[in-house]
Amino acid sequence: MIQKLKPFSLLLILSSILFSCTKNETTVVLPVTAITVSNLPADTVLGVNAITGMPFSAGKYTFYSLERNAIVPNTDSASTQWDLAFAGSKILTNGGTSGKGLGGAFIYTGLFNDVKTISNDSVFKTDNAPGSFAVTFGSGKGWYVYDQLTSLVTPLAGRVLVIRTASGKYAKVEIINYYKGGVTLPTTASESDKLSKQRYYTFRYAYQPNGSKTF
């Protein structure tokens, strides 16, 4: 004889099944899609001083939000709205002496796609002007090399900037090119072109909005 379950007993069974399913669920972290930014101006050269022969610029950084994928106005330079700032070949993070945020960085040697997780023992440097920056400045020391014979700046292969953003989240950045149009000029290009077409960044990045260290 089949007995009918009382409503209370049925509720207990359904609750048990639901709890069991929930307990055994595996959290799936979806891969973060990389974004490419092209021709970001970084204190571009305005001309050449007629007396010294040296190039000059406005002396202003371009502030960028990785979270919003957008340029941040210079009027917000003292805020936590930006994550990276670009001027010439120098890159600042929003932390330390450069900003009010939690920003920092370290340079990973390897491929962009190989940076899947930031290990918990990773050390993020912060900007400490004038002598030390999270993204090391100087030819062969950070993300680029400068050839004095050709006057060209070329990104070093296999260098990834691992970034802690102003809000304490994480991103990875690869500088692809330093020239307008995303193509390094030939060595035979005119000095005028080498000056006027430099300081335009093309880079790709992946930003993790959930605060984890996994991409």
- DSSP code string of 184-209: PPPTTS-HHHHHHTEEEEEEEEEEET
CA distance 4 to 7: 9
Q: How do the domains of the chain map onto residue ranges? A: 35-208
Amino acid at 25: E
* Alpha-carbon 135 to chain mean position: 11
Q: In this structure, what DSSP letter does residue 81 have?
A: S
pTM for the model stands at: 0.85
User: Given this model, what pLDDT does residue 53 score?
Assistant: 87
pLDDT of residue 94: 98
pLDDT at residue 30 in the model: 62
Residue type, 88: G
Give the separation between CA 63 and CA 27, rounded to whole angstroms.
35
Torsion of CA 80, 57, 205, 156, to 10 degrees: -130
Cis peptide before 7 (omega within 30 of 0): no
CA distances to 76, 85, 166, 196 from 81, rounded to whole Å, are: 7, 11, 7, 29
Tokens representing 104 are 């920092």
Nearest to residue 135, comparing CAs of 173, 183, 184, 176? Answer: 173
Residue segments in the chain with a per-residue pLDDT below the cut of 70: 1-30
